Copies of this chain bind each other. A is one copy, B any other.
Amino acid sequence: MSRDRLIYLPLGGAGEIGMNAYVYGYGAPGKERLIVVDLGVTFPDMDTSPGVDLIMADMAWLEANRKRIEAVFITHAHEDHVGAVGLLWDRLRAPIYARKFTAEIAKRKLEEQGAPVSDLHVVEAWPATTTVGPFTVGFLPISHSIPESSGLAIDSPAGRVLHTGDFKVDVTPVVGEPFDAALWESVSAGGVRALMCDSTNVFSPQPGRSEATLAPEIERLYREAGGMVVATTFASNVARVKTLALAAEAAGRTICLMGRAMRRMTEVAEATGLLTGFPKTVSPEEAAEIPRQNLALIVTGSQGERRAASAQLSSQTYFGLSLQEGDTFLFSSKIIPGNERGVIRIMNQLSEKGVDVVDDDGGRYHVSGHANRPDLVQMHTLTKPQMIVPMHGEHRHLREHAKLAEERGIPSIVATNGMMLDLMGDRPKVAEYIDTGRLYLDGSAMYGAMDGVIRDRIRMALNGQVTITLILDENDEPLGDVWCETMGLPETGRSNASLVEVLEADLTQFVNRAKRGTLRDEEGLDKELRRIARNTAQAEIGKKPEVTVVVSRLG
């Protein structure tokens, strides 16, 4: 019998930014008891996932091993760490552990999906710990762009693993716990078998800057602006929302929060005692009565989301408020790669209204929530791990982080989703490759990214669609002409006649001339009608559409 081992298996977040889901296991090979760290989502786009609502890591492996799962631990309340807790609950049905604020957000996710909240356990920070199976897990407070973020100390008979979660090094974070170097040093004093470490900012060469550095600049902007000032940032960045609100208040402005997430996050942060001293806010209705130079809106939609408050305000009157010449719009945020088009669209709409747009301006109005390269080195140095496994990052980030570790003499590896590592030796070693993938939430349905649904949608979007219907009578003779409908195709083509009519003419000619055997051969007829339609379309409009063939046989 093989000896017990400690394993690590990323299912999401390793090879991408988003949908974090990591598994640790301890026990005999194939029988390890498991814990899951984070169940996050990532967001769809038209290029790869049109019509999809949310994306999460494929849980097939965990579902197949559900009996082995001891618990789920959530490091913090960002969507890419907690967003799938409700959606995946039914597939995993394991107890969930989180600190208070995070648990409050997780609770809402569970409730939204009709999942029981009885399996959700609120835990205190380190030195409190939770023991499940062979694991004892403690939440280590760490600074990030949402309150109460935590790394995890994961103890097993094989020693201690430190899982940073998302973090930055910020000793003055405005809201929440400052980075505590002494804490990380002390939990590492007994030796750290492995450090699992955030990688997203490994290409940023300068040390990260503190949230506290922003207040003076933001306050100056509020003071100097003539009209209304609208500021947008992530709703979950409670520290930033507070910085914006205090600066606005100091500049003599009344604050109005807009966007559901903005109000919800602030409420939860206040209810859980994390957010104190937040200025009084007014409703949009009340705001409409206040002179615009005394008003500060803090709103959702910093990434250009079409339905969020920023997009609404840029294009129309929203809750009685409308922007105009002389107003200022501040993006206290960075554009996440891929969201450029949406954000730029809003900027131009604001420009059309005569609104002055201010972006992060090279860091003047925004700081990142992630550890930059020197901060990563600081974490390596504080924890002195036997090995480092970079996590949360695209392949290029993981690779660069692994190189950074190796250059400093610490064994490392690029472990992407599905690579199960054995952490028992001197360096991380691949134990097994697990099939992984993505799950799509689409309306109320969930299906795999590779199930073909999205492939078909993309094909229809690129190529348009033709529906062909043909009725064959009892003798397999055509009853009437072939009938076509098109969708997403131009009405006329090269011959200047209606595309539908040209298609119908070509197809009808074919069936009228076809032999009885051809018409009787279901699969063959279908294929032939499709081929002719595609060729006719190619001749007429220079492209081959997707084709649906419906042959009704009365016989």
A residues apposed to B, CB below 8 Å = 15, 45-47, 50-51, 337-338, 340-341, 344, 347-348, 350-352, 354, 357, 394-396, 399, 442-445, 447, 451, 453-454, 456-458, 460-465, 467, 469, 471, 479-480, 483, 485, 487-494, 538, 540-543, 546, 548, 550, 552, 554
The answer to whether A45 touches B442 (Cβ under 8 A) is: no
Given contacts A341-B338, A394-B348, contact A542 B464 (CB under 8 A): no
Closest to A398 in B: B351
Contact A341 B347 (CB under 8 A): no
Q: Are A46 and B444 in contact (CB under 8 A)?
A: no
Complexed CA–CA distance, A554 and B348 (Å): 55
- 23 residue pairs bridging A and B, Cβ less than 8 Å apart: A45-B47, A45-B341, A46-B47, A51-B488, A338-B344, A344-B394, A347-B394, A348-B394, A351-B394, A351-B395, A443-B542, A444-B541, A445-B492, A445-B542, A453-B464, A456-B487, A457-B462, A457-B464, A460-B487, A479-B554, A480-B552, A480-B554, A485-B548
Expressed in whole angstroms, the Cα–Cα distance for A448 and B548 within the complex equals 26
A546 to B50, CA, bound (A): 14
- The answer to whether A396 and B471 touch across the interface, beta carbons within 8 angstroms, is no
Q: Which of B45, B347, B552 contacts A396 (CB 8 A)?
A: B347
The answer to whether B465 and A460 touch across the interface, beta carbons within 8 angstroms, is yes
Which residues from B are CB-within-8-Å of A350? 396
Most buried by B among A454, A457, A469, A494: A457
Number of copies of this chain that the complex holds:
2
Given known A-B contacts A47-B341, A461-B458, A488 and B445 have beta carbons under 8 A apart: no
Neighbouring B residues of A548 by C-beta, 8 Å: 467, 485, 487
Interchain CB contact (< 8 A) of A490 among B340, B453, B465, B467: B453
Q: Chain A binding site: helix, strand, loop or mixed by DSSP?
A: mixed
Q: In whole angstroms, what is the CA distance A460 to B461 when docked?
A: 7
With a cutoff of 8 Å between Cβ atoms, the chain B residues found around residue A541 in the complex are: 442-445
Q: Sorted from nearest, which 9 A-B pairs have the closest CB atoms?
A: A443-B542, A444-B542, A443-B543, A461-B461, A457-B488, A50-B461, A351-B396, A51-B462, A46-B46
B337 to A395, Cβ gap below 8 A? Answer: no
CA distance in complex: A348, B479 (Å): 56
Residues of B within 8 A of A451 (CB): 490-491
Contact status B47-A453, CB under 8 Å: no
